[in-house]
Structure 1
Amino acid sequence: MLLIEADAKQMLEDAGLPVPGERSLYAPGDAVRTPGGPVAVKAQVLAGGRGKAGLVRLVDAAGTADAVAAVQALLAAQGTTALVMAERQIDIAQEYYLAWRIDDLEARPVLMFSPHGGVEIEAHGESLRECPVDPLRPVRPQDLIPFFREAGVGGRTLGAIARFAADAFRLMQAVDADLVEINPLAVTPKGDLVALDAKVSLDDNADVRHHERARLVSDTLQRAGMTPLELRAAGQGFTFVELDGDVALFTGGAGLGMALVDMLADAGYRAADFVDAPGGSGTAIFGALSSLIFARAERDDVKAIILFLTLSATSLKGAVESILDLLKVQAPPKPLIVGLVATGAAEREMTRSQAQAAFEAQGHLCVTELDDAIAALRRIAPPDGVLRA
């Protein structure tokens, strides 16, 4: 879950990291009372480039009338679900970029830093440095001093930014985030550090450990934009995204799902959903996901259903039986094409051939290749005749 800036800054503040003070969050219809003096007014949207899009306004007037007008203007520009944050402006002597992220390939956290922060960070890509760390060892400020020194940080700022980075790493671990990005990290004329903007992305797989996330404004916003089926999936702990398409998909793994989405588009179809049932999931999840896919396929815009699973660790027998149990009480609302690939431990209780035979016994077409699934789809439900990009 990606957090709005207001939620991200509250997390930083709760962890003892410096952020601008006197923050207020406003929705349409709220009475706006901003502090006097220079104020930064920012639309709370889950997208970058707010400054270039005119969604950040700096109000330098001593009175509050201009700040109130700026808040109301940004609320009006976004619609009924708009949120706007106003906070005290900070004097800036220097801007840095600092972030912690998870490197999926290296399977460890990486510190990213550039001495050029702010809205034009992309123009200074050559200045971005990375420092991978051992996830099993604590990150101490003194460990980061050489990295920041080589990046050009000196004076009293060197120790301060090393402490800030170490504290940000502890926050990342505490909240189970996969990204904590500060851009810009400002140095004031007095030499203090302040996080002027913050982007935090929380690992959805850790929701079970963080019931406090339900109180975040970001969680409410995310759920407000979700369909009933998406909310149902979220409540069961897996990913389901509704799309405007004509083929309902049930795939095991996000990579396979994206490949099928692309193959469908090349063949003249569109996916009606995207689902992620990651490897290692309990077998009961397959029955629950099948129920969601069938609910999506009941609508008139869906022509067929493709169920394609590639399993190497999760038991093929458990997955197949959970889906077959559903098929016994709920026939698929549209023609069903089943693709199965299983290797290693997945076949310890049932082979792929046995699984295919079980589906074919109920009258469902089985394939083993993605191309064969698309070919079968063409026979069962031809595309409209115009290839869609």
Structure 2
Amino acid sequence: MEEEVVDESFFIDDAGSNTPDIELQKTGLENTYTDRQVGSITKSIEPVSGESSLDIVVEMFKTQADLEAVPIEETGSVIGVIERKTVEEATSTALKRFVAKNCRDYVVDAKLTLNARDFCELVVDKVDEAVKANGVQNFVVLLNNRSYLGIVSADDVRQQIRAVRQHDLEKAKVIQQHLLPDDEATKDFPFHVAIYNQMANAVGGDFYIAQRVSQTSFVIGSFDVSGKNVSAALLTVTIGSYFATLKQLVHSTLSAVQIATMLDRFLATVVPVGNFITGAICYIDALENQIEVLNCGHTDVYACKKNDKGEVQVATLKPTLPPFGMGAVADALKSSSKAGYKLAIASGVQVDMYSDGLPDMQDDDGVRFDDDNTKKFFIDLYDKDVSDMERFTSRTVERWKQHAMLPDDITVVNLRF
């Protein structure tokens, strides 16, 4: 019988030392758990016997800089951990090193054991309480509440929660941005559309749309959801869903009033009581050579053009209708003598919409950009090339706020005929 040759690379050499070489490694079960569970961040560290001399643990901490705690076991069960700070205090002087005892004498009882299937968000309060009450930073993790799996630190739990939330926000940002129109959506319009958008956070409550209604009609809108961050972003998705649905259907006869009324009725069924969405809709009818603006509780809309002297004239189109989401737009349209504004399409006419994040932005001293500077900004923007709109707006925002954070999202929509 031919002798079998065994590949020696399968084996490792004997360490030849009485000091365990503990490596900070994964348990091998990380994929069993979601990123939100304790098991996904548990470190697999081989326990040391409680009868062992403290010198063994001292040597471990000395040779492994990343090691912060060592689990201690007795009679086959892990009874707790010894942390680096405990060992450093116990061996800080020659006398203390001389009288040092066995490992079991330095175990700190955390009075809290975690299970690998625990969710980090649900146990973080208990972890923080244990840290505060007992001063321990590392906790034993059990597999199925029975056998030892590894240890996890309080910092690991907190960091994992932050990482998961950040990852979720990044995914939400991608989804929200995907709902917004890109340059391709407006490239064949018979007028220019330039849009600037900067969120104060990863996701926010500003939203805008620009799409064709029929071969000769177009709708451009700017919206601002009450509230901020995730809650506001969720409501912007409802706006995007509404207009995405309109895009898939043939609605060649839809007017500005019908679009606004349908949007309000739809949002009234999904927007919680106490929330609302301000918005300005600009409806362009190329066949009638007309621009219709409906301002539903939004910031002022500016219509600009030059007079015979070459001066920029500005008409302020203030809100005349209630915000969306309350089911009140249809009634207001019926009862109001001036529900919206109508302008004739003419060469040189510009229509500007913006969210309140623009006048509300502050500099390092807390001074608001305010309404006067906002109006002046659009007058200055009038003579800028359409391709320079985003750069000019960004430069204006950065120069004003300096090092300050934006208190709210900023959206600017510039239409040029």
TM-score w.r.t. the length of structure 2 is: 0.27
